[in-house]
Amino acid sequence: MASAMIPKIKSLLEMIKFSHTIFAFPFALIGMVLAAHANGELPSVAQLFWICMAMVGARSGAMGLNRVLDARIDALNPRTAERHIPAGIVAQWEAWLFVSISFAGLILSAYMLNPLCFYLSPIALFFLALYSFAKRFTAYAHLVLGLCLGAAPVGAWIALRGDVTVSIILIGLAVLLWVAGFDILYALQDLNFDREQGLHSIPVTLGEEGAFLVVRMFHVGMIVLLLLATTGSGLGWIYLVGVATVAAMLVYEHTLVKPGDLTKMDAAFFTLNGYISVTLFFFVLLDVVVQ
């Protein structure tokens, strides 16, 4: 039985692209590092464990729910027709069970961290679920996704501190703009399909040129917010070098994907965005350690 479950678990993890947790995970660690720095002490092993479990549960549940609810749409789209549920690799009930376990893990993790995290967990679940429905009625689904990932550093901070500060909120908003921006780029691949199906997105609303303009504005805004986050956070020149590095990587990303040319989307979306989040975490950690 165990040998039969391993391939199924592997399929479920492939369905939600578990490896892409790297996009958000470093930002949760940034919140944890800054909170530990403010506390003047390292987080406990238990705190680190439950923060990681909350992050995994939130992303896994949200991605799983998105795959379940989008199964019919994915089946109609040539780009997504081979995803696990439309292709019959994962059954609907299996995906629903996976989502339930993931969200239960998030709630349990929040409970184990502190009361404020637990009380806020239903709000987190609401927005994680909202993203899966949003493109059916609003072009701002990208911002909902950004909000979900932008909550990662704020949530980790709350887990250790039980409060919020302006600097961590600014970092969360920076992540929101970053994620919303690259989600808009990704949605360009389905521009014609979304129009035919009556789905909503920034590319559908503004067209390709307008969508690229919005993405550039969002990514500039991200850098500005990261710079403003130095106020009251104790971060110094090493962090600023990291922000400059991230800015350079974003500029490079925008040379890979241009209006009329989406051929390098995988390199821009999957590879480079992973590097961006890890790079910023590295410089935040280095700045705190050096201090």
**Predicted confidence (pLDDT) at residue 123 exceeds the cutoff of 80:** yes
Residues 6+ apart with CB under 8 A from 134: 140, 141, 144, 200
**Predicted confidence (pLDDT) at residue 291 exceeds the cutoff of 90:** no
Per-residue model confidence as pLDDT tens digits over 37-68: 888 888 889 998 999 899 889 988 888 999 99
How many structural domains comprise the chain?
Answer: 1
Neighbours of 138 (CB within 10 A): 15
Average pLDDT over residues 209-222: 96
Average pLDDT over residues 156-173: 92
3 band by pLDDT with thresholds 50, 70 and 90:
low
Helices (H), the chain: 2-15, 25-39, 45-69, 71-76, 92-113, 115-134, 141-161, 166-187, 191-197, 202-228, 237-256, 265-266, 273-290
Per-residue model confidence as pLDDT tens digits over 182-192: 899 989 998 99
Residues 6+ apart with CB under 8 A from 119: none
Q: Output the pLDDT for position 284.
A: 95
Domain housing 121: 2-290
Nearest to 23 by CA among 113, 193, 153, 154: 153
pLDDT-wise least confident of 3-12, 19-28, 80-89, 191-200: 3-12
Average pLDDT over residues 13-20: 68
**Predicted confidence (pLDDT) at residue 8 exceeds the cutoff of 90:** no
Report the CATH number that the domain containing residue 98 is assigned in CATH: 1.10.357.140
Neighbours of 113 (CB within 10 A): 23
> What is the rounded average pLDDT for all residues in the chain?
89
**Predicted confidence (pLDDT) at residue 5 exceeds the cutoff of 80:** no
Spatial separation of the C-alpha atoms in residues 250 and 143, rounded to whole Å = 18
Average pLDDT over residues 275-291: 91
Contact 225, 153 (CB under 8 A): no
% of the chain at pLDDT higher than 90: 58
Nearest to 125 by CA among 73, 209, 62: 62
Spatial separation of the C-alpha atoms in residues 249 and 226, rounded to whole Å = 15
pTM of this structure? 0.91
Q: What angle do CA 54, 20, 158 make, to 5 degrees?
A: 30
**Predicted confidence (pLDDT) at residue 9 exceeds the cutoff of 90:** no
Q: Output the pLDDT for position 162.
A: 86
**Predicted confidence (pLDDT) at residue 88 exceeds the cutoff of 90:** no
Tokens coding 87:
């292709």
Q: Which residues face 261 on adjacent strands?
A: 258
18 band by pLDDT with thresholds 50, 70 and 90:
low
Q: Output the pLDDT for position 21.
A: 67
Question: Which has more confidence, 274 or 107?
Answer: 107
Per-residue model confidence as pLDDT tens digits over 217-250: 999 999 999 999 998 778 899 999 999 999 999 9
Helix axes 92-113, 45-69, angle to 10 degrees: 150
Nearest to 85 by CA among 215, 277, 93: 93
